[in-house]
A and B are shown apart, each in its own frame.
Chain A
Amino acid sequence: MAGKIKVHDPRGFAPMVTGKTLAPRLQSLDGKVVYLVDCLFDNSEVFMDQLQQWFAENMPAVEARMIKPRASWVDDPDMRSKIEADGNAAILGVGL
């Protein structure tokens, strides 16, 4: 141990991570409502609009509905409730 020293770990205490289960997947998107969640980042509205058009042109059996949270960077329980009540799936973008 000559020449060796012991020092403190500078890191904080991370919370324990508890595994969570993904939602069951759909057998098919046909006839289903897919919400396109515009996260309100710059140009994401245009991206989501193009995505909605892609579904209309290529998978018309899918009802792709646009939806926006009340603000960027905040959880929007009302929006989530609407998706849970009326939707079968969701695509969120663009950003975290």
Chain B
Amino acid sequence: MSLEQSGVPTVAVHTHVFARLAQSVALANGMPTTRQAYVPQPLVGMTADGLRGYIQGIDPINEKPFMQELIEGLSAPLNDNDLTGTSFERPSEKFLGADTEDNLRQLFEDNHWTDFMPIVLPTEERIEAMLAGTSHPPDEVVGRLRPTAFREFWEFDVEKVAVNAVMAGARPEYLPVILAHAASGVSARSSSTTSFACYSVVNGPVRGEIGMSDGIGAMGPHNHANVAIGRAYNLLSMNLQGGSEPGDTYMGSLGNPLNYSMTFPEAEERSPWQPLHVQKGFKAEASAVSVFFGGRYTIAGFGPRETWAEQFKRAIAACQHNMPPVLVVDPITARQFVDLGFDTKEKLSAWIAENGTLPAAEYWDDLWVQTLQLPMAKAGVAPYAAKLEAAPEEEVTLFEAKDINIVVTGGETQGAWKLIAGRLGESATVSVDDWR
């Protein structure tokens, strides 16, 4: 669309499953008549001959020959709509029209404003009570979110966050933690075809103040605060960014169960290591939330036992190559790693980075490594450029130590660990105290 504005006629080609999304984005950019042409899904795995068939075939959305769509898109005269574009406002009302509880629940479901589990309807009284959980005024802008990089940002204030917190069943004392999630700028509802999810780790005194659990089942649905905060983060991400509706604002092919809720505190008092928020520059007595973007894979194990190093190497090599893991460990496991000489998280992160390797040929034969990292490698960007020079059978490392975070939680009923896809952005550890 930038090229069109620069005077270059363009046609954008998509696969047919993206038609609704492509048209929605064009409308939101004020250019609903942007020329779009479509080929069948998929492109992945198709031979050159198969793709030539798409080119010589029929556009499945516009029902015209594909090449005719391209040629006419660049050379057919414009009409009045092309010359004016479409301007409009999308005002957000404070209240919806009054209705019965049953009808309102149906309205919320019909509009994809819920996760299809029962919600608490956000009445005026409930919002007022929720807002008592922060000193910030209801109309203070908290931030902006969007489902993906090619969509526009939507803005939201404290009151809108409170509305979604009520819907999730949260209590007023959770609101500063929920506001910190919202202020992270990281949407828990990415529209990526790869089915991302976000999960979050809470550190500092607020964990005890609001009754979060870092004990048995810390990552599961066993504590009201843990669950309600994680659910509120997902609901607010959906509703404050403009939706998370399949086919339009959500395109994750498989979906992700972590999109319901996953927030848990670090077991700082039972951890032998520095808490996560202190690693990120906060004081120990401060409270903070760290929002991890990923959630695409989970690999679990127990130990470390005698052959732990080999088992860990295999587990790290199984992680998707462009998405670093978070190592979540039970305190039992953390202490065992200390006994092995890993007396800081940083030492263990360094070991994982050094020992998580694959032959270069396997590393580069990954969809997202090719899509995202190969162009950087060809441009000489470290550390990817060196990997590109490696022989096919030569082992290359997958991750950098700075990208591998470690969190201690759990009830010590088992020496368990998990590797969970999770990237922590530089500004994704957010103060809770700033939102009290």
Contact = CB atoms under 8 A, between A and B. Distances in A.
Interface stretch (B75-83, B350-358, B389-397, B427-435): B75-83
Contacts of A16: 87-90
Given A5-B123, A10-B164, A71-B375, A43 B45 contact: yes
A17 B28 contact: yes
* A interface SS class: loop
A12 B154 contact: yes
B103 to A, nearest CB: 9
A82 to B, nearest CB: 11
Interface string B141-167: 000010001101111110110011001
Interface in A1-19: 1, 3-19
Interface string B61-89: 00000010011001111100011111111
Nearest to A30: B75
B149 A12 contact: no
B8 A84 contact: yes
A38 B293 CA distance: 27
Contacts of B240: 11-12
Contacts of A26: 9, 74-75
A29 B51 CA distance: 23
Given A13-B92, A18-B30, A42-B371, A7 B122 contact: yes
Contacts of A40: 371, 375
Contact of A19 (B86, B121, B154, B164): B86
Contacts of A59: 71
16 contacts: A12-B240, A14-B92, A19-B86, A20-B5, A23-B9, A29-B71, A29-B75, A47-B54, A50-B48, A69-B375, A71-B375, A90-B9, A90-B10, A92-B3, A93-B13, A94-B43
